Structure 1
Amino acid sequence: MCVFFLCLLPSLLLVLLKLLLRWTWICHLADSTVQQSGRCVWVTACRLLKLPYLTVSEDMGECQNGIRLICKPTALANHLKKHCQALSHPPLARWPHDDPHRQIITNLMWPTKEGVELQAGVRFTRDNLLLEDGGIVAMDWAVCLADHQAHFKRDHHLGGRASGGLPSSLAIVIIIPNALGRVTPHLLRLCNQALQEGFYPVVFHRRGHGGCPLTTPHYQEFGNPSDLVQAVAYLRSHHPSSTLFAVSEGSGSGLLLSYLGECGSSSYLTAAACISPVFHGQLWFENKPPWLYHWTDLIYRKLQINRYATALSSVMDVAKILRCSSLRDMEELMFCATKQPDHRSSDSVDYSRSSQKPDWTCYWEKNEPLRDADEVAVPVLCLCSQDDPLLPPVSTIPEALFHNSPYFLLALTEQGGHCSFMHEDGRGGATSWSHSGVLEYFRIVADFFRVEEKKGLKDVAAHFGSQGLKHSASAVFSKRRRSTLLRKERPILGSRRRQVSTPSDTFEEDQEVFTWNRSYTR
């Protein structure tokens, strides 16, 4: 009898467990127990790996509705607050979706396929752009979705469709990867969602990044936008009626912010966005992130350098670079250290004598992302999280820039990690809040400017009369087009430059009330 009972005991336990799970509160208790146990194990593993768990900073104040929007009160800012739903609904997710380290591993470090092939439901085709100095940058167009679900939205995107069945104006989104040039799962999902919502995404790859060939022994500096300037001009010349947007991922913001400051009002972009941006490049290099992420980035960077070791050996000490133990030392050796002359090759001697590389301090004077922030004339939305483990503390964010510049807007969330901002979709999964927020921001800014242009035409009609409307409107738009094609010399605005770096400074009284003018952003 005892043997018979022991044989039936496992079956009886399974039946009893099934009966108990019929009660909802028992199911919730079991789920909560499993979740808490898994979280304790995960936190213990992170502490053993010396991955810090960051808490929400108290010095940034309370975030209203989970998002603190820091910006100068302008017509565009008020319009965004009123119509951009993403800025009023913060990224809310429960564990494990809200864990910053899990988000980094799954969204940034998880391996992806390389090359022009089907990835994350998106198919890419590549354009190689030959630059003035003989270098090559690559532009990967996300041309179609595997499920073809975006056709309807594409037909009804910004600008509608023309009579010939083709879009009357394309909305092109230039996507800039991080400084390592790696195509991350986060970036691929951004391309996927952009296609679904009717945008045309194109990924910009720097020299030697993303499989792009390195035809000159030269890597692009952290904040040197010269290659991006030519790429954007190429897009503008081939798509003159298109609306151009740009979004950067992580450290790729150093390139985008430098481009916006370098071009100023001559930029062809309508709006830009930076997801988890690096505001201070030198500080970011000198303050190491957690060792696991640092060594992962370091090894990836060394693999890039080693691929072109033969070509770069004429201008860099590649062997010494490959022995570096930090990204800071690699950056300094690549761009600040002059290669010792090799007497066996006269070409290398001539090149080393003719090249004068700056020291570490001078290098960052030329490559800091916000060095020309006072010249930016395009609305820029920056998404930052207080629990980002890869960036310096939130106390280093230049809040004065967002309080005083009409073109910079900062959305600071309590959680989101680095380039993740996961948000529960209500079906047990999670989506990226940053993707939907950035794309919605682009649409609203484009609509705002379209309305402002119509108001401008009405003002012209009221001033010149209906007879001279056509001539006056054409004169206005030709003037705007000339302002974009002819780059003007930027004056040295000492007061504005000091204001960006010194939070205590304020604008003059006559600049307190800012009226948005469409010509300022073209």
Structure 2
Amino acid sequence: MLLVIGLSCLVGLGVMVILLGVLSRYMFLTKRQAENRNRDDEEEDVFGDFWESHPGGTQLIYKPSALANWLLRDLQRQSLLQSTDWWMRKWPHIQTIIQNLLPADKILELARDHLQLADGGIVALDWVVGPRGILGTRRGTNTAGSPPLLFIIPNPFGKLTKNTEQFCLRALEKGFYPVIFNRRGQNGCPLVTVKLQAFGEPADLKEAVSYVRFRHPSSLLFLISEGLGSGLLLSYLGECGSSSYITAASCISPVFRCQEWFETGLPWLYDCLLLLYQKFHLSRYSTALADVFPMERVLKSSSLQELHQVLFCQCKGENISWDEYWEHNDPLRDVDEVAVPVMCICSTDDPIRGPAEKTLPIELFRTNPYFFLSLTHYGGHCGFLTKSDVSWSHKVTLDYFSSITEFFQIEEKASVLPRGRSSVTINRRRRETLQRRDRSVTDLHEMFSWKRSYTR
């Protein structure tokens, strides 16, 4: 008995030592990041006196325009980020872990569609149809009375997080119809071709959006991304430009400078967990992928950058440099072509994205009339937890979509277009026609040219 008790004490002591070691390492890294951030603040304060004029801790950064003035006036009527408990303000890692690393509650009722792509690959679309008890009255935002669609792009690691699940629940309550996009081989979607989706390659997303538009031609479509999923969203909007068929988009805790993000690396705990998670899912297809990818090196990679570089830059029969890869996959490569409003919700204490002064392209929001930045002091990465059961970022996103819809409706009534028809009616009828006939690029630009007036 004494021997058993002694062994139990030794095991308990060993666990305590390990936990203390992990905690001390975490505190050291956090302190070093804080010191680096303070040095950066001393060198250059890119935010100026924004916080002085917004003591509530929330600031909307934008280029002045008719739409910006509308959003500023409309969103100011909404509640600011409520004060959270002191431990949430002090340790953004807690919010990040709760919303991203803890298992989801898995209470959503999903109806899955497997969409076969042009090259034979398969992506999965999960239509959120429940739980039935919280379904709100779906309010139509157009003359047909169809509910607005929320096309959700989760993180690129294939993990359905608590943050995504809670957003879907909130959207259902507000009368939206969410659908979750799952990449090849992720979240239960089968990998039937020896091809993985590159970081900023929107070809699969284009086909998925076209399919959703085909099924719901009279519904307004909104795009939402979570964390690194913003890379795919921004790539899609940049490549498609005015022919994206999107009314508005929102990015929650986006990562903009993705090449630098991979090169800088994450705090060791996040890097290890995400690396192991991605290796686990890739190992399921190791035999099939071995014909194209050096899977032995993939599974032995020691960082997310090394894994990504081996997968997409050192394939068998095709080798490109790391810089060349990002020339084709940088989310901001075609940012000037974006032609729909994009709201980005960020916090300055995001431990995944990194210091705001270095990782947020502030000039993009000050010079591009389609981009808006809602910046808070705290919130972590996709956290923004409050004392209520609704994440602040979820409420702001849905309020933003409602405000955009209302603005467009007012613009339609106030504008008289050629041929005497409403712009959205023109868009709706032409989009349905485009699915039956082949239209030229000129027609597409003409179709969406009305939207550019609100950016002046």
Q: What is the TM-score normalised by the length of structure 1?
A: 0.73
CA displacement at 1:97 relative to structure 2: 3.6
Q: Supply the distance in 2 between the matched residues of 1:174 and 1:197 (Cα, whole angstroms).
A: 15
CA distance 1:475–1:282, shift in 2 (3 Å): closer
Aligned residue among 377, 390, 400 for 1:441: 400
Residue 46 of structure 1, CA deviation: 4.2
**Residue pair 1:145, 1:195 contacting (<8 A) in 2 also:** no
Aligned twin of 1:291: 268
For residue 10 of structure 2, what is the aligned residue in structure 1? Answer: none
From 295, 299, 314, the equivalent of 1:337 is: 314
Distance 1:262 1:69 in 2: 26
Deviations 1:451-501 (CA, angstroms, capped at 9, x unpaired): 111222xx24xxx8xxx7469997787678889984739xxxxxxxxxxxx
| Correspondence 1:385 to 2:350 | no
Contact 1:265 1:520 in 2 (8 A): no
Amino acid at match of 1:450: Q
Q: Distance in 1 between matches of 2:453 and 2:135?
A: 34
- After superposition, residues 374-413 of structure 1 pair within 5 angstroms as 374-396=336-358, 397-413=360-376
- 2:333 maps to 371
Partners of 1:362 and 1:400 in 2: how far apart? Answer: 25
Give the Cα separation in 1 of the matches to 2:331 and 2:424: 37
1:183-222 deviations in Å (ceiling 9; x for gaps): 0011100011000110001110011111100010111000
Match of 2:135 in 1: 150
C-alpha separation between the residues in 1 aligned to 2:440 and 2:240? 8
Q: Gapped runs of 5+ residues in structure 1?
A: 1-41, 114-118, 163-167, 340-351, 490-515
Q: Deviations over 1:327-350 (max 9, x none)?
A: 0011110010032xxxxxxxxxxx
Whole-angstrom distance in 1 between the partners of 2:423 and 2:95: 53
Partner-residue secondary structure (3-state), 1:361: helix
Corresponding residue for 2:61? 70
CA deviation vs aligned residue, 1:148-190 (integer Å, no higher than 9, x gap) = 2333x32x45348x6xxxxx12211011111112100111000
Say whether 1:105 aligns with 2:101: no
Instruction: Give 1:126's aligned amino acid.
Output: R
Deviations 1:29-49 (A, max 9, x none): xxxxxxxxxxxxx99974443
Q: Secondary structure at the match of 1:52?
A: helix
Deviation at 1:445, TM superposition (A): 0.5
TM-score by length of 2: 0.83
Q: Give the structure 2 partner of residue 518 of structure 1.
A: 451
Query: Structure 1's 200 and 323: CA in aligned 2 closer, same or farther, altered over 3 A?
Result: same
The within-5 A match list for 1:253-264 is 253-264=230-241
Counterpart residue identity of residue 320, structure 2: P
Aligned match of 2:5: none
For 1:52, the equivalent position in structure 2 comes to 30
What whole-Å deviation, never above 9, does each CA across 1:317-366 have from its counterpart, x for those lacking one?
Answer: 10111000000011110010032xxxxxxxxxxxx3xxx34211100000
> Does structure 1 residue 324 correspond to structure 2 residue 301?
yes
Q: Deviations over 1:414-450 (max 9, x none)?
A: 000001111222xxxx531000110110111011111
| Count, aligned residues | 412
SS at match of 1:263: helix
Secondary structure (helix, strand or coil) at the match of 2:114 reads strand
Q: 2:246 aligns with which of 263, 266, 269?
A: 269
Which residue, 123, 142, 158 being the options, matches 2:109?
A: 123
Give me the CA root mean square deviation.
Answer: 2.8
Given the alignment of the two structures, is residue 421 of structure 1 paired with residue 384 of structure 2, yes or no? yes
- Identity, in percent, stands at 44
Counterparts of 2:384 and 2:425, CA distance in 1 = 44
Q: Distance in 2 between matches of 1:247 and 1:265?
A: 18
**Unaligned runs of at least 5 residues, structure 2:** 1-18, 443-448
- Radius of gyration: which is bigger? 1
Change (3 A) 1:66 1:157: farther
> Counterparts of 1:469 and 1:75 in 2: how far apart (Å)?
23
